Amino acid sequence: MAAKPSSSGVQGRDRWILSYADFITLLFAFFVALYSLSLKNSGDEQRLKETLHGVFEAVQKSIKPINIGEPIVGEPKDTEVVEAKPIPATPPTIEEEKSSAVYSLLSQVVENQFSGLHATGQISVTESADWVSLELKSGLLFGQGEYELTNEAVALLILVANILKAHPSVILVEGNTDDTPVNSRRLVSNWHLSSLRSSSVVDELVYRGVDPKMIAPMGFSGEHPKVRNTNDYARQQNRRVILRISKRGADNLHDYLFQ
């Protein structure tokens, strides 16, 4: 009885097609790479990008997924359709509302009552994540080398005190000088001058009704300059007093700082 021809021999004769297909694929990739390099050398970056994108896009579209198991018809049973709802905005806290009110009121006073001083940089109001800061140049508050408030400074601090009384907060008053040594028999150093100037501002605010438990003076001498002390104008910018009004609630300054 004659043996039947084996089917494996037929399959073996057709295996060259796979090798041929792999060769053609590699040859195609080789020519694409050469073409891309020629575009790269000619400086046509956009054309190179479009060509490579088209090649890879065509490869992606030619790939078809292979299903394993029975295909799923319709929507999966365990899928829930969740309706997207907007996240409600968090209402501002009491401290945030208070700090915004202080910043708005101080800005209005500066713009309406002291627009000229604001335009020349003598007075400014800024806001950060933790503080509302009112910066006053020392020339606006004191005479040269002095620490007693001028009449104009008292009039300004009366308006500031009215705002601070209506919105009580922790207040740090910082005194700053330039790097020029003091030339006075009454003053020992710039530490002395900066501390006395900040203390004069605190005394006036307390006299006008600000709670003394919520405010304190600080002197930094010339150790915290705003700009480099390279000339007289720069030194004038560094001579300043800053009222820092905290946005965080507290019952008194001592607990705010040390507890």
Residue pair 237/226 in contact by the 8 Å Cβ criterion: yes
Is the four-CA dihedral 63, 64, 67, 71 of positive or negative sign?
Answer: positive
Structure tokens at 225: 């300059």
Rounded distance, CA 59 to CA 32, Å? Answer: 13
* Torsions phi, psi for 224 (to 5 deg): -130, 65
Highest mean pLDDT among 52-56, 73-77, 238-242: 238-242
At residue 98, does pLDDT exceed 80? no
What is the structure's pLDDT at 53? Answer: 61
Pick 116 or 51 by higher pLDDT: 116
Residues belonging to the chain: 259
Structure tokens at 11: 């399959």
Pick 40 or 154 by higher pLDDT: 154
What is the structure's pLDDT at 157? Answer: 95
Which strand (E) or helix (H) includes residue 131?
strand 131-137
Query: Degrees (nearest 5) of the Cα angle 11, 15, 18?
Result: 140
Its pTM stands at 0.63
Model confidence band, residue 99 (pLDDT cutoffs 50, 70, 90) = low
What is the structure's pLDDT at 11? Answer: 55
At residue 116, does pLDDT exceed 50? yes
* DSSP 8-state symbol, 224: S
Rounded distance, CA 107 to CA 113, Å? Answer: 10
Structure tokens at 241: 């007093």
218-240 mean pLDDT: 95
List Cβ neighbours of 240 (8 Å cut-off, separation of 6 or more).
135, 136, 137, 138, 176, 226
* Torsions phi, psi for 75 (to 5 deg): -90, 145
Residue pair 197/146 in contact by the 8 Å Cβ criterion: no
In the chain, how many H helices and how many E strands? Answer: 10, 5
Rounded distance, CA 216 to CA 226, Å? Answer: 21
List Cβ neighbours of 222 (8 Å cut-off, separation of 6 or more).
176, 177, 178, 179, 180, 190, 194, 229, 238
The one-letter code for the residue type at 150 is T
At residue 28, does pLDDT exceed 90? no
70-95 mean pLDDT: 56
177-192 mean pLDDT: 93
What is the structure's pLDDT at 62? Answer: 45
What is the structure's pLDDT at 9? Answer: 55
Rounded distance, CA 188 to CA 207, Å? Answer: 27
